Amino acid sequence: DGGITQSPKYLFRKEGQNVTLSCEQNLNHDAMYWYRQDPGQGLRLIYYSQIVNDFQKGDIAEGYSVSREKKESFPLTVTSAQKNPTAFYLCASSGLSEGEYQETQYFGPGTRLLVL
């Protein structure tokens, strides 16, 4: 059953602590993305990666870091430098479907991060 998994569903962070959110996909997609969503708002792009071992900053990358060592995995670390980390974090991946000329982005179920 193909898809994108994110873990954990809920995550609690103490002040000054780094936490890592997991994202795995088995869709064989090259590109992966991390978005942040605040209550009542749309999604904002944090980081994206088009291929393994390469990633680029999105619109709100400060206080976050990522790695892309494997095609299937794109973990996001929320560092202590992120002063307002409480949000809903969404991972996505994209690739070309058969017969398509445009990549479609698919999303995981999300991780809700709360600061204690």
Partner 1 sequence: DAKTTQPPSMDCAEGRAANLPCNHSTISGNEYVYWYRQIHSQGPQYIIHGLKNNETNEMASLIITEDRKSSTLILPHATLRDTAVYYCCLNSGGYQKVTFGTGTKLQVIP
Site residue total, partner 1 (CB under 8 A): 28
Residue nearer to partner 1 on the CB measure, 33 or 82: 33
Nearest C-alpha neighbor of 4 from the set 77, 96, 111, 113: 111
Cis amide linkage into residue 8, ω under 30° from 0: yes
Q: What is the closest distance, in whole angstroms, from the C-beta atom of residue 64 to partner 1 in the complex?
A: 16
Q: What is the closest distance, in whole angstroms, from the C-beta atom of residue 63 to partner 1 in the complex?
A: 20
Distances in Å between the alpha carbon of 35 and those of 80, 99, 105? 18, 28, 12
52 lies in the site for partner 1, by CB under 8 A: no
Residues 12-41 that bind partner 1 (CB under 8 A): 31, 35, 40-41
Nearest C-alpha neighbor of 95 from the set 104, 84, 108, 87: 104
- For partner 1, which stretch binds (CB under 8 A), given 12-20, 50-58, 60-68, 73-81? 50-58
